Amino acid sequence: MQLPADSTPPWAIGSSAYAPLAEDRRADVVVIGAGIAGLTTAALLARAGKEVVVLEGRSVGSGTSGRTTAKVSALQGARYQVLADVHDEDTAARYARAQLDALAWMAEQAGPVEAAQWERRTALTYATTEAGRSKVEQEARAATAAGLDVELGGADLPFEATASVMLADQAQLDPGPYLAALAAEIAASPNGTVHEDTRVTAVRGHRTFRVVTPRATVSAQHVVVATLLPITDRGFFFARAEPKSSYLVALDVAGSVPQTMSLSVDEPSRSMRTARIDGQERLLVGGEGHHTGRGGPTLARYQALVDWAQEHFPVNEVVARWSAHDYVPADHLPWVGAASFTSPHLLVATGFEKWGMTMGTAAALLLADTITGTEGVSTPWGAIFDPKRMALRGLPTAARLNAEVAGHMASDWIKPEAGPASDGTGRRRRSGLVPVGEPEPSGPAVRVVCTHLGGVCGWNDGDRTWDCPLHGSRFEGDGTVLAAPAIRPLRSAEPPSPTPDA
Question: What pLDDT sits at residue 219?
Answer: 98
Does the pLDDT at position 425 exceed 60? Answer: yes
Pick from 27-31, 258-262, 336-340, 495-499: least confident: 495-499
Predicted model pTM: 0.94
Say which residue, 496 or 324, is predicted with more confidence: 324
Beta bridge partners of 209: 220
Question: Does the fold of domain 410-483 match that of domain 118-170+240-328?
Answer: no
Identify the CATH homologous superfamily for domain 118-170+240-328.
D-Amino Acid Oxidase, subunit A, domain 2 (3.30.9.10)
Q: Provide the pLDDT confidence category of residue 165 given band limits of 50, 70 and 90.
A: very high
β strands within 65-215, DSSP E? 71-72, 119-127, 151-152, 163-172, 192-195, 202-204, 209-212
What percent of the chain stands above pLDDT 90? 78
CA dist., res. 222 & res. 237, Å (int):
19
CA distances from 164 to 48, 76, 156, 399, 477 (A): 43, 13, 10, 34, 42
Helix (H, G, I), strand (E, B) or coil at 182: helix
The residue among 283, 286, 258 whose CA lies nearest residue 77 is: 286
Q: Where are the domains of the chain?
A: 118-170+240-328, 410-483
What percent of the chain stands above pLDDT 70? 97
Question: What pLDDT sits at residue 378?
Answer: 85
- Asked if the peptide bond before residue 485 counts as cis, ω within 30 degrees of 0, the response is yes
Mean pLDDT, the chain, rounded, equals 92
* Range 410-483: architecture per CATH: 3-layer Sandwich (2.102)
Residue 247 near residue 302, CB atoms below 8 Å:
yes
155-165 mean pLDDT: 93
Question: What pLDDT sits at residue 374?
Answer: 85
Pick from 137-141, 150-154, 333-337: least confident: 150-154
% helix, strand, coil for the chain, step of 5: 30, 30, 45
* pLDDT tens digit sequence for 206-229: 889 999 999 999 999 999 999 999
Pick from 19-28, 185-194, 309-318, 386-395: least confident: 386-395
Q: Provide the pLDDT confidence category of residue 15 given band limits of 50, 70 and 90.
A: low
Any alpha helices (H) in 313-414, and if so which ranges? 356-372, 395-414
Does the pLDDT at position 45 exceed 50? Answer: yes
Question: What pLDDT sits at residue 502?
Answer: 42
Cβ neighbours for 471, distance < 8 A, ≥ 6 positions apart = 229, 238, 239, 243, 405, 450, 452, 453, 455, 485
CA dist., res. 317 & res. 305, Å (int):
13
Q: How many residues does the chain have?
A: 502
Q: Provide the pLDDT confidence category of residue 166 given band limits of 50, 70 and 90.
A: very high
